[in-house]
Structure 1
């Protein structure tokens, strides 16, 4: 174990390709600790106090690198080049059509096969309580044009904020749309499902999907629908999938919300039992809420716990799904003349 500044670095084993992987511990003066690995630029654990001061882990994950290599649910990882779905894996850029690997029904999902979540990233301990992961994605990797150089920097401060800064540069037109795919469970140690968690999302509209989970292009008001989280309600409050086609298609929530531009706080989540609260801020226009509808795949998590459906929820800040093919959505296109710069902040406290 090596202590660099206030960041503790320790070995996390080797991949099947014999690449060494490390854990990076960021800890603040309040006892909050974030543990990262350079495999997938992944958030491995996030230790936070409840209202009584009991510090427990609020994200799903694994105890060893072997489990992360087998994982197909993107648990805790950085996903890209283009997170979420692209319809039929096709898009056009500068008059040329590109075809990407199909890995989710008829669609391309989260950058393709062996994408950013399965790569060993470069790592650098930066300022106090900060680590930066770097990666070059070469041209034509998973079908994307252009060489893309990206960095993902995690910083933990004494306000209990874990900030993620994304930066990217390319040498030709390409797509860049990155997010973090952590599964949160504020009970601590995944004591129960997340259906009793209360959420508030600053979004007046969401993007409904077709039978293949691709947005129809419509911006639908959330009012008077199961997607209305403009005031706090539990995830299970409108869970009756038989009464809502959108929930039935996705087996729960697996939908993008169009975030209100005038709201700094994008999402708040509360576990009433522990009192833990998670507050999310982001520069990105969309928030994809996923309620872990396909977690039950014989996945054995930390301390030997089998994960079940709805044991965690994801708050994926990003550009809208399939945005490259929908003219009214914010474009994920990055040019050599621009740089990709976005951020997400996860703040924890208790009530």
Structure 2
């Protein structure tokens, strides 16, 4: 027999400011005892609250106490990585014989999209469907980060 869950609710918990003309907010999705908080700064998961086997609620995400702490983060806690995930050795790559030099941010390598990766930008809240989901979008322009 299937268990019926209560609906998920999306609400804006807080608007925490502006960055480069874009509003940064904290959003929450909830269904029963389950809740998740997200921010459009880096499309980052801030918390996931779940009950354990005894019903005790706890946050299972490594995070920071405030969104401001993510601005100088080098751990990538909960945020989207990209334009690439992992390292590009020597901060360069070739496609069809054309080599592209990137700006290193991890010694001589490029890590998780570079100095201003997808976890360091303000994402637009494209849409949300009440009781369902939220959609973040980011348009990376041609030549952003030097490529």
Q: What is the TM-score when the length of structure 2 is the normalising length?
A: 0.86
Tell me, yes or no, if structure 1 residue 78 matches structure 2 residue 80: yes
Distance of 2:19 and 2:136 partners within structure 1: 20
**Equivalent residue of 2:93, what SS?**
strand
Distance of 2:35 and 2:110 partners within structure 1: 34
Q: 1:28 touches 1:129 (CA, 8 Å); kept in 2?
A: no
1:67 aligns with 69
1:57 Cα deviation from its structure 2 partner? 0.3
Structure 2's unaligned 5+ residue stretches are 1-7
Q: 1:12 touches 1:65 (CA, 8 Å); kept in 2?
A: no
1:22 aligns with 25
1:34 Cα deviation from its structure 2 partner? 0.9
Structure 1's unaligned 5+ residue stretches are 145-351
4+ aligned runs moved over 3 Å, structure 1: 15-19
1:127 Cα deviation from its structure 2 partner? 6.0
Aligned length: 139
2:141 aligns with 138
Q: 1:15 touches 1:66 (CA, 8 Å); kept in 2?
A: no
Distance of 2:76 and 2:21 partners within structure 1: 21
Mark the structure with the bigger radius of gyration: 1
Which of 89, 92, 95 is matched with 2:91 structurally? 89
1:6 Cα deviation from its structure 2 partner? 2.1
Tell me, yes or no, if structure 1 residue 126 matches structure 2 residue 129: yes
Distance of 1:138 and 1:122 partners within structure 2: 14
CA RMSD, Structure 1 to Structure 2 (Å): 1.8
Distance of 1:109 and 1:15 partners within structure 2: 26
Matches within 5 A, 1:109-124: 109-123=111-125, 124=127
1:38 Cα deviation from its structure 2 partner? 0.4
Higher relative contact order (CA 8 A, sep 6+): 2
Q: 1:15 touches 1:65 (CA, 8 Å); kept in 2?
A: no
2:59 aligns with 57
1:42 aligns with 44
1:24 Cα deviation from its structure 2 partner? 1.4
Q: 1:35 touches 1:43 (CA, 8 Å); kept in 2?
A: yes
Tell me, yes or no, if structure 1 residue 99 matches structure 2 residue 101: yes
Q: What is the TM-score when the length of structure 1 is the normalising length?
A: 0.38
Distance of 2:45 and 2:144 partners within structure 1: 24
Distance of 1:101 and 1:15 partners within structure 2: 27
